[in-house]
Amino acid sequence: MVSGNGSATVVKQAHVAAESVFPPVFESRFSAGRGLRLIREDGAEFLDGVSGTFNVPLGYDHPKVVEAVIGQLRKCAHMSSSYSAPYARSVLAKLLRAAPANLDAGWMRDLTGSTANECAIKIAQKSTGKRDVLSLHHSHHGQTIFTTSISGQSMRGAAFPMVNASSVKVPAPYCYRCPYDSVYPDCGLLCAERIYDAIQHGSSGSVACMIVEPVLGNGGNIVPPPGYFSAVAQIAQDTGMLLIADEVQTGIGRTGQLFACDTFGVKANIVTLAKGLGGIGIPTAAVLMEQRLDVLEQYEHSFTSGGNMLALAAAEATLDVIQESGFLQQVRDRGRFLERHLRPLAENYSCVGDVRGLGMMWGVEIVGPGKRPDTDKTNRIIRCAEVSQRLLLRGSKYGFGNVIKVRPALVATEDDLVEIVDRLARAIQEVEACG
């Protein structure tokens, strides 16, 4: 489709060589992490604007999580998940008490978001007896063969013969580059409406579920417009498919609520969590679901290190911290503070096409003339931020690689946030000055 909205250029961008999507390999060797900062071996401090891989929401050394993990390590690092199950149940109970009301069962035998998503899809397929998985263009659901197959970007699967397009992918609610070349709200939410067509004409006729990131994280921090999720929920109800919210990035406070489902008022049947659940980067994951969907046998989804005791200790301590009185209110306040500082970038620099997000989850879209995604400039800004500003940032590999993610730890102070935006602005300036 040729579009005044950048879609034609975007189609060409799909052919951009993978290496230009990835920024150059960084060479810093870090030996310690303190709060929002990583310390290089020579003592130089780097401010982390993306909290690791968005999985360090409490900073690198939050004392309550560190103590919980060390305390558990002294007692016992691991026992078989059959024996750690009671401890997993107590973490799940804590999660479920704070989860959207329809979720009242859980599974905690995963350590990564990828396998948690596979677990959710097994649940959907087994409980519905159906097969297909709907997902969004630009989505990222993991790096196993199956989650690579259902993710909405071919670049990461191209080398692997077993990755197939067995899922049905539908356009994302990407208003800045509307896939239907329309404008909200006159568009009538075509991005949701056309899902009926995809099910009718593009699926096998046996659709088990649709999996959606409430905010498409790696795809470019795409925030759906109002009404999108209620339209999708209606489609799910009309077609008998389940709705899975992949909250691997958005969960555990990132959008200002413990669950982004609550932020958007989405009633998903299944929710997956990982990343932030470990607080300081300890790997752990969870799947929450409606009781009627608690259909898996233990032998159908369980890993050697799933339900690991250190992971459970980290998750429990993380939930305690995030549920402390005032914590999430502070995330919402700081999120608005960050927004106020980030938005002017779009007025001050012509290469900043859009600034979008919520809570502590923001994206800065870098463009050339005609809103053309400028992946090269994005990578240069990220590189310059690290090398000359000592600010760590990441790009949107599942979109066009031209969105700079800004996702600080949830414990960032206002001074940290000002410092992140100032250093980003200086990096943009420096790159702009070089042309």
Binding site for ligand PLP (CB under 6 A): 112-114, 117, 140-143, 213, 217-218, 246, 248-249, 274
For residue 392, the minimal CB distance to ligand PLP (Å) is 16
For residue 216, the minimal CB distance to ligand PLP (Å) is 8
User: Could you give the 3-state DSSP secondary structure of residue 278?
Assistant: helix
Vertex 197: Cα angle to 137 and 250 (nearest 5): 35
Between 81 and 284, name the residue whose CB sits nearer to ligand PLP: 284
For residue 140, the minimal CB distance to ligand PLP (Å) is 5
Between 6 and 173, name the residue whose CB sits nearer to ligand PLP: 173
DSSP annotation of 245 reads E
Buried (b) or exposed (e) across 316-333, using 16+ Cβ within 10 A? Answer: bbbbebbeeeebbebbbe
In a 13 Å sphere around the CA of 402, the CA atoms on its Cβ side amount to 23
Residues written for the chain: 435
Between 53 and 350, name the residue whose CB sits nearer to ligand PLP: 53
- Exposed, middle or buried by CB within 10 Å (0-12, 13-18, 19+), for 82? exposed
For residue 432, the minimal CB distance to ligand PLP (Å) is 30
Between 116 and 322, name the residue whose CB sits nearer to ligand PLP: 116
Q: Taking the C-alpha atoms of 348, 349, 350 and 353 in order, what is their torsion angle to the nearest 10 degrees?
A: -90
Between 150 and 187, name the residue whose CB sits nearer to ligand PLP: 150
Between 6 and 220, name the residue whose CB sits nearer to ligand PLP: 220
Residues 6+ apart with CB under 8 A from 85: 307
For residue 150, the minimal CB distance to ligand PLP (Å) is 10
The backbone torsions φ and ψ at residue 176, rounded to the nearest 5 degrees and listed phi first, read -65, -30
Residues 6+ apart with CB under 8 A from 236: 210, 242, 243, 269
CB-closest chain residue to ligand PLP: 113
For residue 274, the minimal CB distance to ligand PLP (Å) is 5
